[in-house]
Amino acid sequence: MHELLKRAASFLGRFKPPEGWRFRFWWPEEWWRKVALVVLYILAPLVVLDWLLPPPIYKGDIVSGVVMDRRGAVMRIFPVEDGKWRMRAHLDGIDSDFIDALLAYEDKRFRDHGGVDFLALARAGGSLVSAGQIVSGGSTITMQTARLLEPRSRNILSKVIEVFRAWQLERRLSKDEILELYLTLAPYGGNLEGVRAASWAYFGREPDNLSPDQIAMLIALPQSPEARRPDLRPQAAIVARERVLMRLAVEGVFAPDLAKESAEYPAPKRGSFPTLAWHASDEALKRAPSPDNIRTTLDLNLQREVEQIALRAAGPTRDGAQAAVMVVDIATREVRAAAGSANRASLGGWIDLTDRPRSPGSTLKPFIYGLAFDDGVAAPDTRISDTPRRYASYRPDNFDRTFRGDVTVAQALQHSLNVPAVSALDAVGAQRFAAALAFAGADLSMPLAADDEAGLAIALGGTGMTVRDIALLYAALGDGGRALPLVWLEDERIKAKVSKPVATQIMSAQSALQIVDILADAPAPDGRMPALLTQEAPVIAAKTGTSYGFRDAWAAATGNGYAVVVWIGRADSGPRPGVTGRDAALPILFDVYDAIGRVLPARTTGPSLRQEAPGGHTPPSALARFERANAPPQIFFPPDGSEVFKDGEHTSFVLSAQGHGKLTWYVDGKPLARNVAGDTVWRPGDTGFYEVKVVDDAGRTTKARVRILSPDGN
């Protein structure tokens, strides 16, 4: 290394000053070599050090997460891991008057020097010698930035290191980038760093339009952040602000009268940072590649209303109830509002309940019937039996413990009858249904060893699904059965617009339209007029659900261009006896649609909700009655579990069932003969329990356990 430097100095020494230069006698030839050698000995180590010890610029990237709505309004700000509030500064988002005032006060020649203002250093040194104290500092903004990146005790060595670091920063960054780095790291007292964090803490807003007193306060605080904290030492902050204002008036930045007037304002008080969309912001932060200014698809005004609605929904209760709500724009699948809980201060409030699997109750029934329509085994006006029925050891029952006999599929869905829904799922196939939902992006949380019996329980909520899953499905229902992923971020929206993801067809557009039409005619919540009777109200196709043990109350709907899901329950899955989806969640869902009407534009997707499906609802003769080709016989009389009274010694009953081909009846294993009319008649003997069995010509069997009682009930 030494030899290389000597050779370089020798090479440079060949160059002599011009012959006519008047100071030639000061620079003999050997001096040139010595000067060149000295310069190289200084520069070479600097270059090596610059390469080996780069400045820790990365510290400026450790910033707070800032989550915004779709228009750029800040909803929530996250502290960094060390507990500091440090928001990345962008010059285009900071008041230009503040930038001008800062440079006039701190570093007039910032745009001209190379990181070190030697005139300012000389002035500071002169003031130190003449006054015995530092009257004006000599550190440039670049040098201050270097000190913020690597805090050191103030001494001569530290100043030399700052000069070197400032030179490094100027080599790597533009002037605007250095200024942004300074405004990101500048201390403002306590755990506040950066002009944006200080502006939010003390003024409750971005520093994009500041008054003179605010500008002066933000300039004064970094010089002595703890001693001048407005929230702890307001008088010291006012004095420092006045000093800055007077100086800026002298510099011509502010008019003297304006500066004097601004000095009269009281010191600002520290406020809290925005915490809107608490759980949705967590989701956005996980999805975003960078925490800086995350633009979501949420709408701030609707989000605020939805959170208030959720709070009212859970607020009056004393049993630890929470509420979760989601609103999805069907046209784009963008999430417009998402409340993960009603109140973070109550039990379970910190959990994002839109992302926790819960029993969906009856909310999946529309999709079961939709697939049955696609399969051609049912239509809206198909007659389906609502009578007791057993599937091996699984015997579904209706919510009100009442059976209605033959009903149409539309009636079964509108009144959320359980037995018909299980029959439809049995026809569609439970595993196929679960696979169809999973393929669409809505995974079911199934038991580890799910069998056919557990599969059929899906129709009544015997699985786990999240609010997000249900929102995805009902958005698809309102878009002709087309399922697409939900969009949370502006970046995701742009990517989806470019890549155009292929939708998964859960059901045909015709079936989806028929399902929506059926749900739109379902009873409205108490106190609400049906949409058909009001001109201004949107048509809402809603379905409610209540899980086993009253643990989950649901309402999900599509209408007016938006899909809305409401869940109410306890975060710990505790029961809430008597609380149903219709009574608790459905009114909240309609409140959310009211808020949508106030805040967002109405939209329509796909065919009109009230448009008649092709061919109407009248099913062809083959679909006039619901049957499954490979289903076992269905016993109509005597129903399973029934108690039948004998009217005398010779009492007889005509057995009734539906099935394929010839049906053979057995009582306690003994076959029964048909009479001349073709009916199978049973004449029970003694009172007691009997097993009645019917077998079709394919060997499929259905059993009913019956108790025969005497007229007096014994």
Residues known to be catalytic: 106, 362
DSSP string, 89-111: P-GGGS-HHHHHHHHHHH-TTTT
117 HSE (CA, 13 A, CB side): 21
Cα separation, 365 vs 410, in Å, equals: 11
Which residues 6+ apart lie within 8 Å of 76 measured at CB? 65, 66, 67, 273, 274, 275, 276, 277, 278, 281
Cα separation, 88 vs 196, in Å, equals: 7
Pairing of strands 66-68, 74-77: antiparallel
Buried b (16+ CB within 10 A) or exposed e, 208-224: eebebbbbbbbbbbbbe
How many beta carbons lie within 10 A of that of residue 250, not counting itself?
12
**Residue 626, SS3?**
coil
Please write down the HEC assignment for all residues of 189-209. Answer: CCCEECHHHHHHHHHCCCCCC
Alpha carbon of residue 108 to chain centroid = 46
**Distance between the two ends of the chain, CA-based, in angstroms?**
115
How many beta carbons lie within 10 A of that of residue 183, not counting itself?
27
Alpha carbon of residue 270 to chain centroid = 29
Whether residue 249 contacts residue 259, with contact meaning beta carbons closer than 8 Å, is answered with yes
**Residue 434, SS3?**
helix
Residue 334 host element (H or E): strand 334-339
